[in-house]
Structure 1
Amino acid sequence: MSQALLDGVGGPIGMVCSTLPVVAFVTADAFFELPVAIGIAFAAAVALTVWRMRRGEQFMSAAGGLFGVAAAGGVAAWTGSASGFFLIGIWAALAGAVVTSASLLVRRPLTGVVWNAFHGGGHAWRRDRSTLLAHDVATLAVTAVFSARFAVSQMLFNADATGWLAFTKITMGTPLTVLAGLVVIWAFRRSTKRLAEPGEDRAARDQATRDQATRPA
């Protein structure tokens, strides 16, 4: 499971390539004006994209970091602050925390909604207590990652601590994503085993779920 998740974020090369432009930007910002630092970060992202394409990666896979650096650099130039380079990530973390928290409050944990959509949308997954609990845990893990990223990054943004923002982006980026992703994969596998596997066991589980739903409180 961990290998599949690692491949999903681009493997070790993708993890390194996502951090190098950030390091280049912060380093350059310590010695040059903001426009020059943005240009150096963008140049680093372009070089990494070309290198990954020469290794045989598809353009959209290789250029994902390039688009992100271009957007972050645009926001930094618009705000006139080096800390603005990290503003999109801060907003994204806030949005993710709000969406996942809301899904828990309405008792439709987002990971369960996604799992059900991937499996045809016809499973009564919310009636199966074990499955619902698994997705509560998985969605809560994702919420915790988003919330922690936003809280820490927003505090550093308000303090205009560009170097620490870069450190936070690196340490709370891919590593925490992988950890939360492992919990989500566990919930997906548990749901599939209980509700989506073919055969008599699935029919028995579906009947047990229906009986549980109609049983008087």
Structure 2
Amino acid sequence: MPMTPGQPDAAGAPQRAGDPRWTDQPEATSATAGATSATPGAPDDDEERLPSMAEQMAEQLGGWRGLVESSVPIAVFVVCNVIWALTVALWAAVGVAVGIAVVRLLQRRPIRHAVNGLFGIGIGALLAWRTGEERDFYLPGILYGIGYGLALLGSVVIRQPLVGWIWSVLVAGGRSEWRTDPVLIRTFNRLTVLWGVVWLLKVGVQAGFYVASMDTALGVSRLLLGYPPYAVLLAITIWVVRRVNRQRDDAPPLLATSA
């Protein structure tokens, strides 16, 4: 039976306004409270959040810091080679590359990009030091680029597009369901051809400067044709695959990250 304010309870104590015993309204249960606090349409905390385009690009390119760090040794070599001699430029480039790797290691940051850059710089420096030709500093990058471009185009010929496999490893946690989907196979074939053609074109420009012994132009083209085309191709790839997945409800979960 509900009580009114001021009416004594069984113990003789007067009831106060706000005491739940004198009101007819039932107390909210934990289930009701949880239901009222939930916002309709709110995302489930346990639902896996898909990485954005910017996050995926940053991961593959190493972020702005990775972009800068990978370009600094090349820029140092170009500048030092113009101002001083080849030997000074080689030591400066290698020293900067080593310094970047050490700083990343001391800061407990990922050193994958720094180690890759140091490896390429080291081989180029060794070749240039042995031949005395500054253009040989860029030769490993040119050869790697030709190999990458031919491998990309060759993977399409054998119906194993590399862009699809790289995507499945880096983004989809190793899942390869796209191999059973004709639409996605065609999509990755076309993207792989695009990557291969662009890769061979940019390496072709550098190879032309190499053959013509235009060392300064070769260094500048190495800087300008390094990451910028790669970033554009990566953005196009992410946009195309996302668009295909949005248009088809039965598409494999290529955008889901691995657990």
Contact 1:111–1:138 (Cα < 8 Å) also in 2: yes
Name the structure 1 match of 2:67.
Answer: 15
Q: Secondary structure at the match of 2:185?
A: helix
Q: Aligned partners of 1:76, 1:194: CA distance in 2, in Å?
A: 54
Q: Aligned partners of 1:54, 1:187: CA distance in 2, in Å?
A: 39
Which structure has the greater CA radius of gyration? 2
The alignment status of 1:36 with 2:92, answered yes or no, reads no
Q: Aligned partners of 2:193, 2:92: CA distance in 1, in Å?
A: 38
Return closer, same or farther for 1:39/1:101 CA change in 2, 3 Å cut-off: same
- Aligned-partner residue type, residue 82 of structure 2: A
Name the structure 1 match of 2:128.
Answer: 76
TM-fit CA distance, 1:121: 4.0
TM-fit CA distance, 1:94: 0.6
CA offset digits 1:79-128 (Å, max 9, x no partner): 32111111111001111111111222334322234456754445543x52
- Aligned-partner residue type, residue 4 of structure 1: Q
CA offset digits 1:49-77 (Å, max 9, x no partner): 23333443134444332222112211212
The alignment-based identity, stated in percent, is 23
User: Structure 1 residues 163-172 or 89-98, which shifts more?
Assistant: 163-172
Structure 1-normalised TM-score?
0.78
Return closer, same or farther for 1:66/1:110 CA change in 2, 3 Å cut-off: closer
CA offset digits 1:182-212 (Å, max 9, x no partner): 23334554469644249xxxxxxxxxxxxxx
RMSD: 2.6
Structure 1: stretches of 5+ with no match in the other structure: 199-217
Structure 2: stretches of 5+ with no match in the other structure: 1-52, 255-259
The alignment status of 1:177 with 2:230, answered yes or no, reads yes
Name the structure 1 match of 2:216.
Answer: 163
Q: Aligned partners of 2:137, 2:101: CA distance in 1, in Å?
A: 19
Q: Which has the higher helix share?
A: 1
The alignment status of 1:63 with 2:115, answered yes or no, reads yes
- Aligned-partner residue type, residue 238 of structure 2: I
Out of 97, 100, 109, the residue aligned to residue 161 of structure 2 is: 109
